[in-house]
A = this chain, B = another copy of it.
């Protein structure tokens, strides 16, 4: 059927070992034979069989991305799709491919075993929502390369992870609002059981402190992430004595709730209330006024996760790395007072 290394060897008048060497571009080869073999390979339209290589090397040229089917919202969809694209881009450059393995949480142990034992993956990328000590120990015991997407802290054991620099995002949001003349800044976010919300809060606090801005306990509101809770929270804030004149929201949905509250109370955005949202999706450019957002580069997060994993694959004893991706303020209407 397809042409194999043996036929190339014969046609080029060399041994299969030599052909193998040019495939893997081994350094110890004369330029002359290398060129000759390459030429024949091209002519005969040779493609190495990744299965045979895999069998020889004891590894498939694949890495897996575990996806958490149960939590489509935390890693919400367009978000994850972008991450995946980033990963795919990076691994493809190395001739590897990305396989998707979905898990419902309870079965993750099994699935990971399957990926390691049967499918012989080279490495695996795990969202932090699926990572836990038990799973990671299984991986570590086997010296199996993995990286976590989303900050993961688990005692003293080092783990490679990549995350968005949410603290920086929180700081940027505050700094941007201050620059635009707002000084009484509230924060409405999702559950504090999520590390990224804690990080954003931390950034928020730091920035306020650094700029010597007031900070009120009731300006920090934790919600379940729904539009309705954001709405109620904002309404309460606007009715309170120490009413803020700006607010930072954890995502577009929360912002939507805030906008509804403002509208009802006839508080004008951005004139009376500045608004900065995390995320650019799905509403940022759709609503009026459009939302100034803390943009999160999830594509890059995927790329970096993949590169980190590739490094571990190349050298399983390489040190674990923790990487943060910078956020950026995307300025739109909701935070700029028209003059």
Instruction: List residues of A whose CB falls within 8 A of some B CB.
Output: 1-2, 47-52, 54-55, 58-62, 64, 67, 69, 72, 76-78, 80-82, 84-85, 88-89, 92, 97-102, 117-120, 227, 253, 256, 260, 281-283, 286, 288
Extra contacts, 11 of them, besides A49-B118, A78-B81, A88-B101 (Cβ < 8 A), are: A47-B118, A49-B55, A49-B120, A51-B59, A76-B78, A78-B78, A88-B100, A92-B102, A97-B100, A227-B286, A283-B283
Most buried by B among A88, A89, A97: A97
28 CB < 8 A contacts A-B: A1-B58, A47-B118, A49-B55, A49-B120, A50-B60, A51-B54, A51-B55, A51-B59, A51-B60, A51-B120, A55-B55, A61-B119, A62-B62, A64-B97, A72-B81, A77-B78, A77-B82, A78-B81, A80-B81, A81-B81, A84-B100, A89-B102, A97-B119, A99-B99, A99-B100, A282-B282, A282-B283, A283-B283
- Please give the distance in Å from A319's CB to the nearest CB on chain B: 25
Q: Interface SS of chain A: helix, strand, loop or mixed?
A: mixed
Whole-angstrom distance between the Cβ of A274 and the nearest chain B Cβ: 22
Contacts of A88 in B (CB 8 A): 100-102
Residues of B within 8 A of A260 (CB): 288
Contact B50 A52 (CB under 8 A): no
Are B78 and A119 interface neighbours, CB within 8 A?
Answer: no
A116 to chain B: closest CB distance in Å?
Answer: 9
A61 to B, closest residue via Cβ: B119
Q: Are B84 and A119 in contact (CB under 8 A)?
A: no
Contacting residues, chain B, for A51 (C-beta < 8 A):
51, 54-55, 59-60, 120
A289 to chain B, nearest CB (A): 13
Is A99 touching B58 in the complex (CB atoms < 8 A)? no
A47 touches B117 (CB 8 A): yes
Closest 3 CB pairs of A and B: A77-B78, A282-B282, A47-B117
Query: Are A253 and B50 in contact, with the CB atoms below 8 A?
Result: no
Contact between A120 and B50, CB atoms less than 8 A apart:
yes
How far apart sit A88 and B98, CA to CA, in the bound complex (Å)? 13
